[in-house]
Amino acid sequence: MSHARAVRIDLARARTIVDRAIAHARSNDFPPMTVAVLDTAARLVAFAGEDGSSLLRERIARGKAHGALNMGVGSRGLAARAASDPAFVNSVVALADGDLVPAAGGVLVRDDDNNVIGAVGVSGSLPDDDEASQSTASPPRGCALTPSG
């Protein structure tokens, strides 16, 4: 009997994503940022909260990443869905025990074979800036960051 091995983001690539997101934020003079990288089981693989990040930023960043993983789309897509169908998204947030933030800044991480291997959530600035901190930075080798799903 063969067992398929789950594909997950490794620590080296997760740290690279965090470092590049923070570097992008610093180069654009964004407020202090918080970045969380989760694997496909929603376990925290890498995290950084810059000095001065407000207290809820960690939970917001994780919630954006969890939302992307749970729904299979970037959190910008969840924000659009919340605008068009708030009752549905409110129900999903309740099912996720509040651990889903429908605002831009959460993206899926895919490998070269297009498998989802994790998700990244960023919080600290406006949602568009949060998303840009990860999606415009060059991803590590073997990864693609997909804001739209």
pLDDT by residue (tens digit) across 125-137? 999 899 888 777 6
CATH number at residue 111: 3.30.450.150
pLDDT tier at 44, thresholds 50, 70, 90: very high
**pTM reported for the whole predicted model:** 0.90
Q: How many domains does the chain have?
A: 1
Structural domain includes residue 5? no
pLDDT by residue (tens digit) across 86-124? 999 999 999 988 889 999 999 999 999 999 999 999 999
Angstrom distance (rounded) from CA 149 to CA 146: 6
The pair of structure tokens assigned to 130 is 């949060």
Instruction: Look up the domain containing 73 and give its range.
Output: 11-146
Question: Across-strand partners of 39?
Answer: 118
pLDDT at 6: 60
Structural domain includes residue 80? yes
